A and B are shown apart, each in its own frame.
Chain A
Amino acid sequence: MNPILAEIPYWGQSLLRVLGGLVAVLLPAGTIVYVFLFKMMSFMQSRLGPMEAGPYGSMQLFAEVGKWLQKEDIVPERADVRIFKMAPVIVLLSTFLLVVAVPFGPDAWFTDFEVGVFYALAVSSISVLGILIAGWASANKYSLLGGLRAAGQLIAYELPMVLAVMGVVIQADTMNLQKIVVAQNSGSMFGFDAMGHPYVISQFVGFVIFMIAIQAELTQAPFDMPIAESELVSGYMTEYSGFRFLIFFIGEFATAGVFAMIAAVLFLGGWGVPFAWFGWTSIDDIDNWMNIAGPIIVLTKMMLLVFIIMWIRFSYPRLREDQLQRFAWKGLIPLALANIMVTSILKVAF
């Protein structure tokens, strides 16, 4: 426990953690939307993107949020009103539950789970519920198709994601995300310890599967059939407007950020840099400034991974639903199982 935090009362700690959680979800979401959705996409498409609101369009996000908040909150006449209104909140809720598991520094964590990996994978699937009931409660055929597609897709890609993470868990001997970070940064590869042992190298197959799976979990192109604006108008989001759409929108990009953070923790060494750079050997040697630098390092690694996600999103066309399922069940899942086999054999052998 951080000595500074320990001195303040429990309610103060809780308040700090809640505020921290809001920042950890909303700050990456806003950054991702501005840097990638507004600017990177524009530059890829040989245009400038928003330029008027604020210097270099940097205030555009606030303008957009203001616009959405002003809009009328329309509920379709035949919709299941309570469930319809609940759905976006459930989707965003799963993001907040997910960010709780991410460690940001040696002491900068929300909760230090022994089963952090298990928890993260479990709560990430709550968003399926929100999407499914959004599709159902809208009383719209396009929404229904989108919701059903989303359910099928998210369940299919949950499995390769879990299986890809298994390799990391086997290698690190723990499900505690904090310990996985330490294991990566204090480890060495065949005695060569200049860069620690980020699992992206030894678990490269797992990393690729994990990235593909989160691309699908986030319903980003090429796996964006649940939204598929050219077929289903806007899928399960068709009937949402105003701030309810805004919640879906924040949820989409916040989840992208949080998933990328978890990928960074599992595969890129999380909040740490290789301990050997500073002559540390264990977490006890870590100076307190790592609590400050940690979040920045996590965010940097997150941006790198979100860049890959968005890069693929902006350049690939969409798969068809049956092709997507075939890809998961016939391609990714056998590959992930093979990855677990090989990892465990090597683990026993060395």
Chain B
Amino acid sequence: MSITENALGDRQRLAYIASQAADSRLNVELETEGMTLNIGPQHPATHGTLRIIARLDGEQVVWAEPSCGYMHRGYEKLAEVRTYPQVTTLINRIDWLGSFANEVPFVLAAEKLMEIEAPVRAQYIRTILFELSRIANVSLFLGDLGVQLGAITPVFFAFRDREYVLNLIESATGGRFHPNFDRIGGLKDDLPAGWVDEARAVMKKLRGFCDQIEDLLFGNEIFQSRTRGIGVVPRDVALQYGLSGANLRASGVDWDLRRDHALPMAWNKVAWKVWTHPDGDSFARCWIRLQETRESTKIVDQLLDSIPAGPVMAKVPKIIKVPEGEAWVSTENPLGEMGYYVVSRGDLGPFRVKIRSASFNNISITPWLLRGVYVPDIVTILASLYFILGDIDR
């Protein structure tokens, strides 16, 4: 790790030296008795039950370790005793803010094994709902960012405008939080009448929300001084720790599964941009998510314009039996790469499901990243990494 060679600014370099010194116990005579601060499992900053054990020297972190598992619900095991259509109800609840997006990779994996493909209209609607859940997820992040930094107003704007998106999802699927709308071979229903026009209006509102957040938060000097140069993840470290999603793109890696994977979805039918940022700091991660929300609204707008007519369900048997085999499908979920490795023995339910959720890998970088930062920066770094506890513990 060539952190000293990178031009990361004096503070980061000093922090690195301090952490090295703490590790090798070089400063024995200067060392004061440290304090172990237990952040979580119930703490306002961890929005969930993540526990971080941090050893402090004054306000500087010399060692930190995330401890997860306080909300482990055993979805991988539970999936083994469910039939395929029942599994979507479970996996909805992994990343509860973008729940529709959780269903898609699993359904795609099952479809891949059965060698069927959803009709084009169903693919379009899937993509639209996928992007809507991304907007619902990330817009809450953008508001929550303010709360983590002490600005209480943005989160209310986020909840106000997120409500429109949730209403859209609800009117299409019947569920605000847990749609459970995906079926193997297509979707449960078609879109209701008038939905397309409403969605266009909402997307316009959401672009306004993005502008508002950019003015209120991203342009603020205090916000910038709290996030710029803080929690820098260099490109090679990001790749080593298996970061994905906006966290990886913020470190300058041009990587987006929506574009890179050939999936039966509609992303490749519209024009949009994958944003990257060279800095890799907290600000870059937040900024990437802001831009992605804007791109998502553009994707939805274009898909609404070009959505084809047709059925939303392919021909599938009444009782779904997935043929023997193994399939791995991952998609670019709001939090990063989310994938399901489905092993089928030809039964009604999967034999084994391995869930690769984005937050677990994203949070695994924290021992490296938190070393040497100050206590207030723990909060900004965790906020900018953006995890959902359900996505860590599954």
Task: Name A residues whose Cβ lies closer than 8 Å to a Cβ of B.
Answer: 41, 44-47, 141-142, 145, 221-222, 224-225, 228-233, 314-323
Contacts and interface: CB of A to CB of B under 8 A. Distances in A.
Contacts of B147: 230
Interface string B200-240: 00000000000000001100101101100000000000000
B225 A46 contact: no
A155 B87 CA distance: 59
Contact of B152 (A45, A141, A320): A45
Nearest to A314: B153
B160 interface: yes
Contact of A231 (B152, B220, B223, B379): B379
Interface stretch (B168-176, B186-194, B370-378): B370-378
12 contacts: A45-B153, A221-B150, A222-B150, A231-B45, A233-B44, A314-B152, A314-B153, A316-B220, A317-B220, A318-B376, A319-B222, A322-B374
Contacts of B43: 233
Contact of A319 (B38, B45, B226, B375): B226
A45 B156 CA distance: 6
6 A-B pairs with the lowest CB-CB distances in the bound complex, closest first = A318-B150, A45-B156, A317-B149, A317-B151, A230-B45, A320-B376
Contact of A145 (B45, B59, B148, B377): B59
B222 A318 contact: yes
- Most B CB contacts (10 A, CB to CB) among A233, A317, A320 go to A317
B374 A320 contact: yes
B189 to A, nearest CB: 33
Contacts of A231: 45, 375-376, 378-379
Given A44-B153, A45-B153, A224-B150, A319 B225 contact: yes
Contacts of A221: 150-152
A63 to B, nearest CB: 22
Contacts of A321: 59, 374, 376
A78 B59 CA distance: 23
B150 A320 contact: no
B376 A228 contact: yes
B37 interface: yes
- Which residue, of B148, B152, B374, has the highest number of chain A Cβ atoms within 10 A? B152
B157 A316 contact: no
Given A222-B150, A230-B148, A317 B223 contact: yes
Given A224-B150, A230-B379, A316-B151, A45 B157 contact: yes
Contacts of A141: 35, 37-38
Contacts of B160: 46
A266 B3 CA distance: 52
Contacts of B59: 145, 321
Interface in B351-381: 374-379
B44 A318 contact: no
Interface string B131-170: 0000000000000001111111100110010000000000
Nearest to A144: B35
Contacts of B377: 320
Contacts of A44: 153
Nearest to B230: A320
B376 A225 contact: yes
B225 A323 contact: yes
Nearest to A224: B150
B13 to A, nearest CB: 15
B222 A317 contact: yes
B168 to A, nearest CB: 19
